[in-house]
Chains A and B, each alone.
Chain A
Amino acid sequence: MTETIHVPLGSAVREHQLADGVPTLSIDSLSVQFTNRRGIARVIDEVSLQVWPGEIVGLIGESGSGKSMTALSVLGLAPPTASIISGDIKLSGSSLRAMSKSQIRTVRGKHMAMVPQEPMTAMNPIMRVGKQVGEPYVVHQASTWKHAIAQAVLMMGRVHLPLPNRRVHEYPHQFSGGMIQRSMVAMALSLGPQLLIADEPTTGLDVTIQAQVLRLLRDIRDIYQTALLFITHDLGVVAGICDWVYVMYAGRIVEQGSVQQILTAPKHPYTQALLLATPSIISRQTELVSIGGSIPSFFELPEGCRFADRCVRRFERCATEPDLIGVSASHTARCWLSV
């Protein structure tokens, strides 16, 4: 009989991780729920994840799996109707949940920052780019606008935006999507945050610009040792940039591991299906593969495994939901098949 190694969620070991270090971001069994007339929707259920300094961690899953809510909860920007019912979020060891709203505001933009999803609408259309990129200096360091704009020029140069001293005086509509996304990265990095959250930062961009932005983010990690939480549904992007991957489904982490293991030897049928659904140039498939069905409603979650009704390999045991089961030292999956 095979022995089951029960590894607690989020504690699978990364090879490069220091034994006595502190993760930049540590989410410990966080649960977030909405309550309305239809009932209770627990959109994040016992999610644990860690991002270590200098590490790019991918959080993947389809729309509605709760990955963006996770990011918003970290930033303290979850909608007021959402309530964190358990768990904790720690930034370099200090609990964000224990902080007041105004305390979190002093951390946001300074110690943690975010690159938004849709670059074309991410900037205030009637304010010059320089003023927006320089704003963190005014907000957090009470610096003068003159100094802030000078810093904005510096930062925009650092993200390889051409002619930054001229560009700062332009308006967002004069920028292309890629340029705005670079500016947003410049703005996010301006105060040297320990944690950068990128919420599908390449979705609205064409492929060549995507590659540039990804390279930029990787360079930033290499130079500043910034911890990066990268939210995406694009497995190609994950393969290109991430060190460690969490797969999220219906508010739960269903699989986690190093990028090699997740992409080459996925254990959870959902991850396998996601990989199959990614068009590949080698397999010469003639038809696009999709996963049948859709994410279950958060109001009517199934008793057992949440993926069971879409799973091609379901069997009797799926009626009860497994814990994250250790596949190897650096790989766990929430599936009975990985036992």
Chain B
Amino acid sequence: MRQIAKSRKEPLFFRHERERYRLIVVGSLLVGLILAASIFAGTSTGYSPYEMNINEKLKAPSIDHLLGTDEIGRDVLTRAMYAARMSVQVAAIAVSIGLFGGGVIGILAAYHGGLVDLVLMRFMELLFSFPAILLAVVLMASLGTTLINAMAAIGIIFIPGFSRLARATTQGVLRQPYIEAARTIGMSDARLILREVLPNVVTPLVVEAMAAFGYAVLLESSLSFLGLGAQPPEPSWGNMLNTGRGFMVVAPWMSIVPGVAMFVGVLGFNLLGDGFRDFLDPKLY
């Protein structure tokens, strides 16, 4: 009873504020863990992610190998950390491709309207109509299975989502009187887009990019799991999970470690994305 009375005393506003920050704090911690892992991947464990050591194969977690070893004696922790580095890289580049491509397409479609809008948006809908993973598989199969192509494929998957968001936001901004006021002083189209439109549509796009980051990590892992992303011996959570599948009974850590890492990464980026959204765009709260 006293507890309730005490929490009642705290003004609603502050309780609200704390909840807004909680997502960001938890998200940042998880993302920080992944980022730290990818930054220190080269130095901290003393093992190479590639070097085989048959004598040490399938060892359970111990002081020597904190998270055990895999079927050819490589340190699982080291490999998981290298995989984190690669995932973050792939996600960052893929999201950038999506953000830039989608942003440009969306803003141009909204700004020009008419036929340009129609053609661009129908093309985006065409891309949207494929299931994401299927589209990625098709793109990888046709482009070839390299990491660069994985980034490109994931980036392309993101373009329609970003373009729709950018288009809708731009349409809203273009209806604002300050756009007309800017036109009356004789601004060119390019100047108008760069100085008046872009700064006003960038916030929701950045928020969406944060949320897309987690999804990009998941997509990269899925592709690698299917053998279409990172190619062995390059470590990736996806292909580690795939290999670990065969040793589920004798060496469960081989699949638990990348699985948990993926969970932490995706959850972290999603929470951070949600937190940012609540923070920067209270309307959606």
Contacts and interface: CB of A to CB of B under 8 A. Distances in A.
Interface stretch (B25-33, B179-187, B209-217, B265-273): B179-187
Interface stretch (B2-10, B86-94, B194-202): B194-202
Contact of B186 (A80, A122, A136): A136
A139 B186 contact: yes
B176 interface: yes
A77 B183 contact: yes
Given A124-B196, A126-B199, A105 B188 contact: yes
Contact of A140 (B183, B186, B199): B186
Interface in A96-130: 105-110, 113-114, 116-118, 121-127
B46 interface: no
Contacts of A136: 185-186
B176 A121 contact: yes
9 contacts: A77-B180, A109-B185, A109-B186, A121-B177, A122-B177, A124-B195, A139-B186, A187-B185, A188-B184
A178 to B, nearest CB: 16
A118 B181 CA distance: 10
Interface string A151-187: 0000000000000000000000000000000001001
A125 B178 CA distance: 9
Contact of A107 (B186, B188, B195): B186
Given A124-B196, A126-B200, A139-B191, A113 B184 contact: yes
A250 interface: no
Given A126-B199, A127-B195, A116 B177 contact: yes
Contacts of B177: 116-118, 121-122
A89 interface: no
- The winner among B176, B184, B188, B199 for most chain A CB atoms within 10 A is B184
Interface of B: 113-114, 176-178, 180-188, 191, 195-196, 199-200
A113 B185 CA distance: 7
Interface of A: 75, 77, 80, 105-110, 113-114, 116-118, 121-127, 135-136, 139-140, 184, 187-188
B41 to A, nearest CB: 39
Contacts of B187: 105, 109, 135, 139
Contacts of A75: 183-184
A117 B199 CA distance: 23
Contacts of B184: 75, 77, 108-109, 113-114, 116, 188
B87 to A, nearest CB: 34
Nearest to B186: A109
A122 B185 CA distance: 12
A289 B113 CA distance: 43
B200 A108 contact: no
A231 to B, nearest CB: 13
A75 B196 CA distance: 19
A109 B148 CA distance: 48
A135 B200 contact: no
A121 to B, nearest CB: 4
Kindly list the 5 A-B residue pairs having the minimum CB-CB distance in the complex, ordered from nearest: A109-B186, A109-B185, A108-B186, A114-B184, A121-B177
A110 B186 contact: yes
A262 B182 CA distance: 35
Nearest to B187: A139
B201 to A, nearest CB: 11
A125 B203 CA distance: 14
B181 to A, nearest CB: 5
A124 B177 CA distance: 9
B180 to A, nearest CB: 7
Contact of B185 (A80, A108, A118, A126): A108
Contact of A124 (B113, B183, B191, B200): B200
Contacts of A114: 181, 184
Given A124-B199, A187-B185, 8 more contacts: A108-B183, A110-B186, A113-B184, A124-B178, A124-B195, A124-B196, A127-B199, A139-B185
